[in-house]
Copies of this chain bind each other. A is one copy, B any other.
Amino acid sequence: MANTQFGDAELGKVKSPSCIFCHGTDGTASNPTYPNIKGQNAQYLFQSMKDYQDGNRQGALAEMMKAQLSRLNDEDLKDIAAYFSSQK
């Protein structure tokens, strides 16, 4: 379950300035209705972000997430996934 070879956590930190407002600087959510993402499996985080981009997730906060992720490509998403996955 190594996160090696799936994204670059250092780059991910640079690419995720807006994530921290809801998911916290250490991946711990600021609100109990949001998910903690620290230590989450990177491949799952990546697929979740793809699902928001692709419209596979609907509901109250899905449009916001889709907008937040709109300018990020797959490499960006992998880097961001690696960053939050690496957090303890």
Contact = CB atoms under 8 A, between A and B. Distances in A.
Interface of A: 1, 29, 32-36, 39-44, 47-48, 51, 54-59, 62
Given A57-B56, A58-B56, A62-B56, A44 B51 contact: no
Contacts of A57: 51, 56-58
What's the dominant secondary structure at chain A's contact region? Answer: loop
Oligomer copy total:
2
A5 to B, nearest CB: 12
Contacts of A36: 39-41, 44
A42 B47 contact: no
26 contacts: A1-B32, A29-B44, A32-B41, A32-B42, A32-B43, A33-B41, A33-B44, A33-B47, A34-B41, A35-B40, A35-B41, A35-B44, A36-B39, A36-B40, A36-B41, A36-B44, A51-B57, A51-B58, A51-B59, A54-B59, A55-B58, A56-B59, A56-B62, A57-B57, A57-B58, A58-B58
